[in-house]
Amino acid sequence: MKIDFNEIEEIKIPHMNNGDGETIAKMEVNEIGRFIETRIPPGSSIGLHKQESNNDINYIIEGQGEAICDDEKEILRPGVVHVCPKNSSHSIINTGDKDLVFFTIVPK
């Protein structure tokens, strides 16, 4: 199976999960799960939310940020993987001066 994110249209989500600013994403949903390329501009965040469907696996590609998962802070930078286990709560915040870019997989 091939997913070409060059062919997927971006969507802008203001105040995603009551976070600050906006989140820009490209998403493919299929029988295997959700595959999401996400960009969070400086000063923006994905608000605190419960991960109900499955584990949320985020690989950081560019930028700097912070994840808060079940009240524990994790520093995000390129090459880091942040995993929010199913039934945990987390948020992702861009703490840098350029876009925080990451790829997310949520298996079914």
pLDDT tens for 30-45 read 999 999 999 999 999 9
Q: Is the dihedral of CA 15, 19, 20, 23 positive or negative?
A: negative
User: Tens of pLDDT along 69-107?
Assistant: 999 999 999 999 999 999 999 999 999 999 999 999 999
Q: Give the whole-angstrom CA distance, residue 84 versus residue 71.
A: 12
- Residues facing 43 on adjacent strands: none
pLDDT for the residue 104: 97
User: Tens of pLDDT along 52-69?
Assistant: 989 999 999 999 999 999
pLDDT for the residue 28: 97
Q: What is the SS3 string spanning 31-77?
A: CCEEEEEEEECCCCEEEEEECCCCCEEEEEEECCEEEEECCEEEEEC
